[in-house]
Amino acid sequence: MGLLRQFFVAVISLSVAGAEEAKSSESCGFAAIFNFGDSNSDTGCMSAAFYPAALPYGQTFFHEAVGRASDGRLIIDFIAKHLGLQYLSAYMDSVGSSYEEGANFAAASSTIRRQNRTFFDGGSPFSLEIQVAQFIQFKTRTARLYNKGQGNSFPRPEDFAKAIYTFDIGQNDIAAALQGMSQENSQAVISDIVDQFSNQLIYLYNEGARTFWIHNTGPIGCLPVAMPIHNAYNYTPVDGYLDQNGCVVYQNDMAKEFNTKLNDTVVKLRALYLDASFVYVDIFSAKYELISNAKKEGFVEASEICCGYHEGGNHFFCGDYNATINGREVHVGSCQDPSSRISWDGVHYTDAANSWIANRIITGSFSDPPLPITRSCLLA
């Protein structure tokens, strides 16, 4: 009996090990991507809705302006490619778009909370609430077309449950909070931002979303336009204002506070909705790692900006034009080699930097749970 028992134990152990191995190699095979966010993942919304983008934006990869705030691709583009899906068309772009494998609702300058600013004031009408409403309309109308036999160029109704829902939003909320509040009420404001984010995630869950890939917000204090080096001549900040990389500490601390609350919220959602996968992606750490090791990774100093002029408090944003500064004419255009820079225009990242970041996060090494994006549908 002892030998027989050992035999059955060995068989069971092998079966369990085989099942675990099969699970570890399982791929989700996502049918589509639905993305929500701001300029970090806008693939043409604001360019289609308002004024069209212009070169040198898009020059490196697309060789034309395609509505992205970069010289080339964004992180969402690299995610789509890695998943074997086409680049996402913006929901607002009615010309030359394809929605068979998903849609992008992200819009530059967008926030989680509603804004009181117009496009002409640097705002966006496409808050996360509106983006989710657009998605629900997209889902409803494409199902209606499909039922009429006219939905061949759209996701099938069953694809919505098999899609991955990606999010990269919150940076503009933090920027607005930094401008308009004191330290005393920062926690209340950030809690409200995260609560509103959570509400929209729940709306999407109720619409059938089951795989959520949620980026936290990046190190806003490391954006070159925020650094004193680009804002004043002969300025020496007080001790503790900047970290070892020249990033503004209090701005990054605000981002970290948001990220901590967002992570806590994702954990709660994971416990509430057991049939859904909620993956929290630490984009802050991925970007900060790149900034901290810029030269080691083949880039110039992280504070250097490729396109635009930002010196001594003079700010002329990326374009192809001449500007007059203290009686001197300067060309406000792209640097010769964008691939050597992390920052494209002082706020957004280059194609090369986005590629570096995407290659790190898709592996799951910056995720909780630590799942590669190809297996992010698996329940923890």
- pLDDT over 70 (residue 77): yes
Q: Is 57 exposed, middle or buried (0-12, 13-18, 19+ CB in 10 A)?
A: buried
Per-residue pLDDT band at 23 (split at 50, 70, 90) = very low
Give the CATH number for residue 95: 3.40.50
Q: Could you list the residue range(s) of the whole structural domain that residue 135 is in?
A: 32-295+350-375
Per-residue pLDDT band at 180 (split at 50, 70, 90) = confident
* Domain presence at residue 100: yes
Amino acid at 20: E
Secondary structure (3-state) at 21: helix
Name the token pair of 151.
């939905």
Judge whether 345 counts as a catalytic residue: yes
* Domain presence at residue 313: no
Judge whether 39 counts as a catalytic residue: yes
Contact call for residues 296 and 356 (beta carbons, < 8 A): no
Catalytic, out of 348, 351, 355, 376: 348
* Domain presence at residue 367: yes
- The pLDDT assigned to 237 comes to 78
- pLDDT over 50 (residue 20): no
* Domain presence at residue 328: no
Judge whether 264 counts as a catalytic residue: no
* Domain presence at residue 9: no
Spell 318-336 as b/e; 16+ CB within 10 A means b. bbeeebeeeeeeeebbbbe
Locus of tokens 């030359």: 96
**Structural domain total, the chain:** 1
Spell 103-130 as b/e; 16+ CB within 10 A means b. bbbbbbbbbbbebeeebeeebbbbbbbe
pLDDT tens digits, one per residue of 276-333: 999 999 999 999 999 999 999 999 999 999 999 988 888 899 998 999 988 889 889 9
Q: Mind spelling out the 3-state secondary structure of 187-198?
A: HHHHHHHHHHHH
* Domain presence at residue 15: no
Preceding peptide of 372 cis, ω within 30°: no
* Domain presence at residue 330: no
- The pLDDT assigned to 14 comes to 43
pTM for the whole thing?
0.91
Give Cβ neighbours of residue 154 (< 8 Å, ≥ 6 apart): 99, 100, 142, 145, 146
Catalytic, out of 38, 39, 215, 343: 39
- The pLDDT assigned to 118 comes to 83
- The pLDDT assigned to 226 comes to 87
Catalytic, out of 345, 351, 355, 376: 345
- pLDDT over 50 (residue 16): no
* Domain presence at residue 124: yes
